[in-house]
Amino acid sequence: MTASDTIRIFDTTLRDGEQSPGCSMTPQQKVVMARALDALGVDIIETGFPASSESDREAARLIAREVRRPTLAVLSRCLPADIEASARVLDGTANPRLHVFISTSPLHREHKLRMSRQQVLDMTAASVAHARRLIGDVEFSAEDATRTEDDFLGEVIGVAIANGATTINVPDTLGYATPEETRALFARLIGTIPGAREVIFSAHCHNDLGLAVANSLAAIEGGARQVECTVNGIGERAGNCAVEELAMALKVRNAFYNLDTRIDTRRLVPTSQLLRRLTGMAIQRNKAIVGENAFAHESGIHQHGMLRHRGTYEIMNPADVGWPDSKLVLGRHSGRAAVGHRIRALGHTLDEPQLEQVFAAFKALCERQRVVDDNDLEALLHGDVHGRGWRLASMTVSDRGQRASAQVELSDPEGGKVTESALGDGPVDALFAALAAATGVELALESYQVHSVGVGRDARGEASVSLRHGDDVHEGSGTSRDIIEASALAWLDVANRILHRPRAAAPQAAHA
């Protein structure tokens, strides 16, 4: 793969991504994420905005010591003090880049900068030249480029190139552009500005209208050879172009684009999940590529097709992005073929009347719960769908004083009563500790979410948990008018699944 047929991936998860509300990371967490981005194969990592905080400066210095392969960039306003501070934190970096930016649109010039066109041109020239004297690799960004007058945008970029910029970024800062506009803009800039073909043009697209990936692909069609992305698409407001989506679009549609990236796509899911753990920001289940439902099928029609040939309903192999396999999720929309297939995979052989009986019980169970897992199927096969397990009798939770406390009374699988109490850092932490003490089941919390189901007087709280038991992660849910009780029911849902788990693990279903 040559430079001409490769799209450079400029990852700004640690800078623009971290600016997403709730996604702040410590310098040490940024180092962990930078190592993962290095392993993922990104070409450039933007480590921060040094003038904004000591935390960003420290993170840039720490990353520079440990990450040597990719280019490491830092962002700077077109101000002498910012540029010099940025250059200092890049000292000792194996492949440094100084990324300077200034706003160019009429709105920004008037209301943010309060500068004339000529003042913006003069500051661009002086700042790019200053940066180039300090660092050999300089990127220039015209903030809000897609809302800037065509003639002025071309003039600013021309000045930046003339003063030593090696990469020109044309940001769609507000996610305002359409793909056709973006394609035409890049083609026009690259085709008309003196020296444009001697530098790399870059796209930085935001997702305010849900077009960040589409606009980034359009920019590539217009001649851009660098795209600025973030893992999971995090970033200001609605986020940025998602690296996993862009990389897989170029890979799956390579015959159309005839371009690729250096991304090791098998690391997309692990990198996505690492960022989720570091920031605590959940990934929507239907998120392309890395969402839990990206390769999950519940519809009976789709499952039947998947059992015949994977290509009927998948355009990617899940292993190519880091998932172990596709998932045929058994739920209300599943058909007899998928249920029968899963029963056979669990090692059971049923004749038609037996399968009909189990399928009828399966459909009835789906009216009471969203997903039917292997443990539920085993219970159905043994006629014990309401089989004994741990049941919540009562609970008391207090969050007074320095630590929260919880006391639970449970009915055990034999019908006896068990009472335990525990302390925790919060009411849910204390509750889960008390449940673990009562059941003897140790579960590590991976994720926890609470949301409302229904409206008005009928509204109830639903808690969803992911809990690790040994090497396995189990999903559980519970519903109640009290969200703390719903949380207890979700935890016990997992504990009971483990209780009824078959002793020997069944092999996973394979798809043709």
**DSSP string of 410-445?**
EE-TTS-EEEEEEEESSHHHHHHHHHHHHH----EE
CA 305 to CA 309: how far, in whole Å?
Answer: 6
CB atoms under 10 Å from CB of 420, counted, come to: 17
Residue 206 is labelled as binding a ligand: yes
Report the interhelical angle of 54-66 vs 80-89 (nearest 10°). Answer: 40
Beta-bridge partners for 444: 468
Residue 204 is labelled as binding a ligand: yes
User: What proportions of the chain, in percent to the nearest 5, are helix, strand and coil?
Assistant: 45, 20, 35
Closest listed residue to residue 209, CA positions, set 243, 170, 175, 173? 175
| First-to-last C-alpha distance (Å) of the chain | 32
Do 79 and 64 form a contact (C-beta atoms < 8 A)? no
CA 40 to CA 42: how far, in whole Å?
Answer: 6
Q: How far is CA 278 from CA 38, 42, 129, 466, in A?
A: 17, 19, 38, 16
CA 349 to CA 355: how far, in whole Å?
Answer: 9
- Count of H-run helices and E-run strands, the chain: 17, 16
SS3 464: strand
CB atoms under 10 Å from CB of 92, counted, come to: 9
Q: Which two tokens stand for residue 162?
A: 């003339």
Do 359 and 336 form a contact (C-beta atoms < 8 A)? yes
Residue ranges for the known binding site for Mn(2+) are 16, 204, 206, 240
Residue ranges for the known binding site are 16, 204, 206, 240
